Structure 1
Amino acid sequence: MEMLCTLRSVTEAQRDALLQAPKRLDDFLDDEEDFGDPKGGAFLELDIGEAWHGLQYLLTGTPWEGSAPLDFLVRGGVDVGDIPSDEGTARVFSPEQVKVLASALREVSENTLRRRYDAVEMQAQDIYPGTWEEPPDDSDPLEEMVSYFDELQKFMAQMGKRGDALLVHIG
C-alpha cells in the first residue's frame, strides 16, 4: 500500500470541524468544490506523493524526529483524532504555525538538502518508499526531492500570506 502525502489549506472553521468530527476527513478530502474560502478564494493543495519521508529526512536529518517547525511532515500540529485506519493520519496546524513554518522553509537552502542526501543512509534508515539505492525507473530521487521542496516553499509562502491553516494528510 502506498503512503501518499497531501498538504491542504483549511480555514480555522474547517480545522475546528475536523477536530470535532475526524471521521469526516474522507468527505473533506474528496470535496474539492464546497471547501473553498468563504470570501471566494479557492483552497490550496499540494500533493507530494511518496516524497514526504525523504523530505522529512532532508529537512531535519532524521526519519521521525527533528526540530519544529521543520519536522511538520511527520510531527507537530494537532492530531485530527480517531480517523478510520484506512484513511491514514492527519494533523492540522494553525495559521500562526503556518507562518512560522513558511519562514523556516525560506531559510533552508537547496544546498542543505543536497548535502543531507545520502541514498545508502536513507535506505539504511528505512526512509519511505525504500528505493533510494535502486530507484524504480530512470528518475533521480535527489532532483525529485529538490523539485518537491521548491513547490513546498512556494505553497507554504502562499498559505502564510493568505493566513490559512494547514492539513497534513498521509494515507
Structure 2
Amino acid sequence: MEMLCTLRSATEAQRVALLQAPEQLEDFVDDDEDFGDPKGSAFLELDIGEAWHGLQYLLTGTPWEGSPPLDFLVRGGEDVGDIPSEEGTARVFTPAQVQALATALQQVTQKTLRARYDASVMQAQDIYPGTWDEPESEVDLLEELLSYFEELQKFMAAVAKRREALLVHIG
C-alpha cells in the first residue's frame, strides 16, 4: 500500500472542530467543498505523494526525529486520529505553529538539502518509498524532492499568510 502525504489548510474553527469530533476527519479530508467553514473561503491543499519521507530526511537529517518545526511531516501538532477507510493518521497545527514552520522553511536552502541527500544512506535507513538505490538516476530523485520542497515552501507561505491552521495526513 502506498503511503501518500497531503497537507491542507484549515481555519482555526475547523481545527478545533476536528479535535473535538475526530469522527469528522474523513469528511474533512474527502470534502472538496469548504467543510464547516461559514465564510466559505477555499482551502489550500498540497499533495506531496511519496516524497514526504525523503523531505523529512532532507529537512531534519533523520527518518523519524528532528527538531520542531521542521519535523512536522512525521511529528508534532495534535493528533486528530485515524481515517476509518484507510490507514494513516492526521495531525493538525495551529496558525502560530504554521507561521513558525513557514519561517523555518524559508530559511532552508537547496544547498543544505543537496548536502544531506545520500541515496545509499536513505536506502539503508529505510526512507519511504525505499527505492533510492534503483537504477533511476540519483539526480532525478534529488531534483524531484527539491521540486516538492519548493512547492512546500510556497504552500506553507500561503497558509501562513492566510493565518490558517494546517492538517497533515499520511495514509
Shared fold, TM over 0.5 = yes
**For the residues of structure 1 that align with 2:142 and 2:41, how far apart are their CA atoms?**
34
C-alpha distance in structure 1 between counterparts of 2:13 and 2:41, whole Å: 15
Cα 1:135/1:75, change in 2 over 3 Å: farther
Residue identity opposite 2:47 in structure 1: D
Tell me: CA distance 1:121–1:138, structure 2 relative to 1, closer, same or farther (3 Å): closer
How much does 1:53 deviate?
Answer: 0.2
- Where do 4+ consecutive residues of structure 1 move more than 4 Å? 135-139
Task: Give deviations 1:135-163, integer Å, cap 9, x for gaps.
Answer: 66998110000000000000000111100
What is the CA-CA distance between 1:34 and the residue it aligns to?
3.1
1:85-124 → structure 2 map (5 Å cutoff): 86-124=86-124
Task: Give, as a single letter, the amino acid of the residue that structure 1 aligns with 2:153.
Answer: Q
Q: Secondary structure at the match of 2:81?
A: coil
TM-score (norm: length of structure 2): 0.93
Residue 157 of structure 2 corresponds to which residue in structure 1? Answer: 157
The Cα shift of 1:133 comes to 1.0
Q: Distance in 2 between matches of 1:61 and 1:80?
A: 26
Q: Give the RMSD, CA atoms, in angstroms.
A: 1.9
Q: Rate the CA distance shift 1:37–1:147 in 2: closer, same or farther, 3 A.
A: farther
After TM superposition, the structure 1 stretch with the greater mean CA deviation from structure 2, 114-123 or 31-40, is: 31-40
Q: CA-to-partner distance for each residue in 1:90-110, whole Å, 9 max, x for gaps?
A: 000000000000000000000
Normalising by structure 1, report the TM-score. 0.93
SS of 2:3's equivalent in the other structure is coil
The total of aligned residue pairs comes to 171
Contact 2:34–2:42 (Cα < 8 Å) also in 1? no
Q: Which runs of 5+ in 2 are unaligned?
A: none
